[in-house]
Structure 1
Amino acid sequence: MQAKGDFPAFRALEASPIGRTPMRRVLTLIATASVLSACASSERPGPSVGPMQPETAVAFSLQPGAFNDIPDWTTVDLAPALLAFRRACDGRRQRDPSAALPGGGQYGGTVADWQPACAAAQSVAPGSERAFFEANFIPNLVRGPGEARITAYYEPIIEARRFPDAVYSAPLVRKPGDMVTVDIAAFAEAYDNEALRGAPRALTGQLNGAQVRPYPKREEINPSTDQVFAWAHPVDVYNLQIQGSGRIAFPDGTQARAAFAAQNGYRWRSALGALRDSGQLQGGATWQNFRAWSDRNGADATRQALNADPSFVFFQEEGIDDPAAGPRGAAGVPLTPMGSIAVDPAFHPYGAVVFVDAQYDGQPFRHLFVAQDTGGAIRRGPQRGDVFFGSGADAGRGAERMNSPARWWTLIPRSVPTS
């Protein structure tokens, strides 16, 4: 599930294999970092957003306030946020109490600092959510650099087959064994190298003997049959790659989840936008228009159109334990429809509780969320977010319309310092 314009990837990057790599290979990895950085993108892509506010030079800060500062606080439905909060607490049960919250961020304290609120959350009765948050948290107005904007994403449900045919001709591909992730930040510290400090934090490449090279582009990827676990319509597969994850439905009524596993490292470029700009896609770069164009022009033309986007997402098939829950986000817990949000973890830790004041279809959009995911298009500042709208076509249509400037507050446990 990714975010838009780039990918919100569902997963944080895979753990680096560097610790198991011979030194001669490590030196090769460093030598290739500058080559890889030209094409690297650490996360999945996402739906395109509209015009963005220009970036500002405001430093990140949290300004303590009161709940009556938050618009519509007394009337907002807080039940989805409480469910997401409980899931965040469950996801931290095995984490060292003295450790910081996962993901990073610039505030939040330790896991132990959040344990009283987590314990209290388990016994909150329906209708008492507001009293719980007011008793355990202090709201802080968020300020900082970058764009202040909210978009949305969702989990598609697509028809799939175990074997290809004329309609279901695009593969869902498992992560290849020759893909590696290089943690450039670790080498920057180890070698005290300023050039490496300026490189992307992590790069994805292809292991070729003792060398790491940029992973092949979309048009160069030819998976073997044992890498493919399902087949679907090419437009549906591309949508799945944009969102980062999705459900696949088979003719016998069963469903599985195609969960984000990896991305080939290239920055996302909208194939729909390229087709529109070429004059072939009339009526706008929408999924409906692209599907109609694809059905008219056939699978070969669709594959050629998709090659305008060099990025490619690999998946892993998973069972669906709770049909009401979304896929696991970067925080490692199931996403909650209208309760989870993708954030920039350079500012907000996973598990942070944030209130967003925005617009949707010309009406106020004011909701409480828990930070549980991220994505390439979302790593743009402390007030850039991507709301998880849920699963299926209705959620997709709703997410497509979400694009608004926004104000943010973050709710911090009363015993936790704000910096």
Structure 2
Amino acid sequence: MIRRLAAAVLAGVLMTGAAQSDDLTYQILDFEVLDGWKDDDHATALSVFLNTCTDLNGPDWQSLCAVAQNIENPRAFFELFFRPVLIKNGSKALFTGYFEPELDGSQVRTDRFRYPLYRMPSEAKAGSAWLSRRDIENSGVMEGRGLEIAWVDDPVELFFLQIQGSGRIRLPNGHHLRVGYGGSNGHDYRSVGVEMIRRGIYQQHQVSAQVIKSWVRRNLEDGLELLRHNPSYVFFRLVDKVSPEDGPLGAMNRSVTGGRSIAVDPVYTPLGAPVWVEKDGENPLRRLMVAQDTGSAIKGPQRADIFFGTGDAAGRAAGRLRDPGRMLVLLPIQRAYALLPENEQ
């Protein structure tokens, strides 16, 4: 990932102020101009950085990771060894949020817990589109094969768990299971929200995940049929490399941290790098985070998805977020200034 970033930025000509290569511009800023920098909890940011810095490539990153193990002044560490780099391509900055769903469930089927999460069956791995969601749910093709990971009590939440692709199951004994994406039936995703708008149930500005859930529950028979408008069906796998009590695994195969981990486009932002976030909007946020995840919708140097944590409250907060601002990647000082043309170094 770092090599892809380096190839992109080294193709440009970086000046002390800003430089441009095609649509990309790069600017090295001082920490003093970062809004709210001095007020952040740099110790927490450092602890999150330490979770994944050992996986960063390059001797400069590895040296800084070693130094970071025994730091008494986290803010001074970042200011001494890094420089904030503003990377832009002409697109406006956009911050959204994501979270880890948590469903109530059981490892055995009961009257309450009767909606199964399935492992991927062998015939769905052939590479072509398999049965649709409707066929999987109505044909009984999955039953009696031991493919169930767990059963949950809410088919609507299960549908949205499939959209999210991973989550946590809270068991009756208080323990948890974590599940991750295990494959799909090969059908393209079709938006239930768009279908509701087409049918005249809601207008575009009214549709959200919470609105869809509420309508389906109020109109359960018609609602479950509406969910089958999306033929895509996701299968799961148990995730047992980390404790279910820790955060879910991000793209670096390490647990992400609520309020401190972000998903980025690794073409521009190295996974594992600290990122200064200045999110505007109704609830402004100024915080040092760490790029530890990716997402198919996260494209561009000023695009980030903030991880809010696990459960309903995190989901509500993440679902409301769609704000402007800016983000700056903190690069090791020599790496940052290596982007400058020779006469500026």
TM-score range, shorter chain: 0.7 to 0.9
SS in 2 for 1:325: coil
Unaligned segments of structure 2, at least 5 residues: 1-20, 340-345
- C-alpha displacement of 1:219: 3.0
Q: Displacement, 1:156?
A: 1.5
Letter in 2 for 1:228: E
1:411 alignment partner AA: L
Question: Post-superposition shift, 1:328?
Answer: 0.4
Cα distance change of structure 1 residues 301 and 170 upon mapping to structure 2, 3 Å threshold: farther
Aligned-pair distance for 1:155?
1.0
> Does residue 173 of the first structure (1) align with residue 118 of the second (2)?
yes
Q: Tell me which of the two structures has the higher relative contact order, counting C-alpha pairs closer than 8 angstroms and 6 or more residues apart.
A: 1
Partners of 1:289 and 1:364 in 2: CA distance: 25
Number of the residue aligned with 2:150: 230
Alpha-carbon distance change, 388 to 296 in structure 1, aligned in 2, over 3 angstroms: same
1:293 has 2:240 as partner: no
Using the TM superposition, give the Cα deviation of residue 293 of structure 1 relative to its aligned residue in structure 2, in angstroms. Answer: 2.9
Correspondence for 1:381: 300
Task: Give yes or no for the alignment of 1:250 onto 2:171.
Answer: yes
Q: Distance in 1 between matches of 2:108 and 2:217?
A: 20
Cα RMSD after superposing both structures: 2.8
Cα distance in 2 for partners of 1:129, 1:264 equals 47
Q: Amino acid of the residue matched to residue 171 of structure 1?
A: P
Structure 2 length as normaliser, TM-score? 0.80
**Closer, same or farther in 2 for the Cα pair 1:114/1:273, shift >3 Å?**
same
Which residue is 2:331 aligned to?
412
Q: Work out whether residues 235 and 290 of structure 1, in 8 Å CA contact, stay in contact via their aligned partners in 2.
A: no
2: CA distance, partners of 1:88 / 1:265: 33
Q: CA deviation at 1:165?
A: 5.5
Indicate the residue corresponding to 2:66 in structure 1: 119
Q: How does 1:237-386 map to 2 (within 5 A)?
A: 237-280=158-201, 284-298=206-220, 300-319=221-240, 321-322=242-243, 325-360=246-281, 362-378=282-298, 380-386=299-305
CA contact (8 A) 1:256 1:320 kept: no
- Contact 1:257/1:320 (CA < 8 Å) preserved in 2? no
How far apart in 2 are the matches of 1:336 and 1:115? 22
CA change 1:132–1:311 in 2 (3 A) is farther
Give the Cα separation in 1 of the matches to 2:209 and 2:189.
17
- The 2-side partners of 1:382 and 1:307 are apart by 36
CA distance in 2, matches of 1:385, 1:264: 29
Displacement of 1:276 in angstroms is 4.8
Look up the match of 1:23.
none
Q: Specify the alignment match of 2:40 in structure 1.
A: 76
Report if aligned partners of 1:156, 1:240 keep a CA contact under 8 Å in 2: yes
Q: Please tell me whether the aligned partners of residues 84 and 331 of structure 2 are also in contact (alpha carbons under 8 angstroms).
A: yes
Distance 1:66 1:374 in 2: 27
The secondary structure found in structure 1 opposite 2:334 is coil
Q: 1:58 to 1:314 in 2, by over 3 A?
A: farther
CA offsets, 1:369-405, max 9 Å, x none?
2111111211x21111101011122211211121112
Change in Cα spacing, 1:411 to 1:122, as seen in structure 2 (3 Å) is: same
* AA of the residue aligned to 2:304: G
Corresponding residue pairs, total: 311
Corresponding residue SS for 1:214: coil
Does structure 2 conserve the Cα–Cα contact (< 8 Å) formed by 1:325 and 1:337? no
**Matched residue of 1:415: which SS?**
helix
Unaligned runs of 5+ in 1: 1-56, 93-100, 102-109, 180-205
TM-score by length of 1: 0.67
Q: Deviations over 1:4-60 (max 9, x none)?
A: xxxxxxxxxxxxxxxxxxxxxxxxxxxxxxxxxxxxxxxxxxxxxxxxxxxxx9623
**3-state SS in 1 of match to 2:146:** helix
Inter-CA distance 327–149: structure 2 relative to 1 (3 Å threshold):
same
Whether 2:133 is the aligned partner of 1:218: answer yes
Contact 1:152 1:386 in 2 (8 A): yes
* 1:352 Cα offset (Å): 2.1
- What SS class does the counterpart of residue 86 from structure 1 fall into? helix
Deviation at 1:332, TM superposition (A): 0.9
Cα drift, residue 410 of structure 1: 0.5
Change (3 A) 1:325 1:289: same
Change (3 A) 1:368 1:176: farther
Assess if the C-alpha contact under 8 Å between 1:80 and 1:338 holds in 2: no
